[in-house]
Amino acid sequence: MSLDIKALTEIQWSEIELENVGDWPVIVKIICCTFVAALVLFFSYSLLVSDEIDSYHSAVEKESELRSTYQVKYAVAINLDIYRQQMVEMEKKFSQLLKRLPTSNETPGLLDDLSYVGTTSGLTFLKIGWLPEIKKEFYTELPIKIEVVGTYHEFGDFVDKVAQLPRIVSLHDFSINTSGDSELTFSVVAKTYRYEEGIKK
């Protein structure tokens, strides 16, 4: 290495010209060739290889994505018969649930049903009546305001009987207050629902 450094220090750089490349010292030719080779490698990588590598990585990512998509679709396809059977069962259950929703002709009878289960539970009605309808996306809520007097046990029996009604009725916003004569006042909003066939989902 010391010889190379010595050779470099002895070069008369002012005498080196492009027109006399053949007369350049060997060490200078080696340096120039190495520099040119490095430039060729750099530009070859930048212009040719780099884009190909990026394309390769993109292709690998795309392949991974396609594999994942394929696995998901394959899992769905292999279970297609099961999904179809489940869809039929869900449609059947949905149809059964719709049948449990009262029609406009049946809603007056629902008040009679609630009155009946309340009185058979030992409750005394203070108030029972319809509240304004509440329109939803594909159904209508039909709330009923109920106020009764009785005991905790009678309230529990009433709630149990409401759950056993053939039509869907849910209880909301209930409150229990004591009155002066040791009786309890039970206030609740019972909601039933009407399916609106004309409304698009």
Per-residue model confidence as pLDDT tens digits over 118-168: 999 999 999 998 899 888 877 788 899 999 998 888 999 999 999 888 888
What pLDDT does 96 receive?
A: 72
Q: Residue 201: pLDDT band by 50, 70, 90 thresholds?
A: very low
What pLDDT does 160 receive?
A: 92
Q: Is residue 62 within 8 Å of 152, Cβ to Cβ? A: no
- 118 sits in which H/E element: helix 107-120
Number of neighbours of residue 131 by Cβ within 10 angstroms = 13
What mean pLDDT, rounded, does the chain reach?
78
Cα–Cα distance between 146 and 132 in angstroms, integer?
A: 14
- Three-class SS state of 125: strand
**Residue 23 amino acid letter:** D
Residues contacting residue 98 through CB under 8 Å, at least 6 positions apart: 195
Structural domains in the chain, sorted by start: 1-78 (no CATH), 102-195 (3.30.70.60)
Q: β-pairing, 134-135 with 184-195?
A: unpaired
What pLDDT does 157 receive?
A: 92
Q: Note the pLDDT tens digit of each residue in 64-93.
A: 888 888 888 888 788 888 888 888 888 888
> In this structure, what DSSP letter does residue 169 have?
-
Q: 0.75 exceeded by the pTM?
A: no
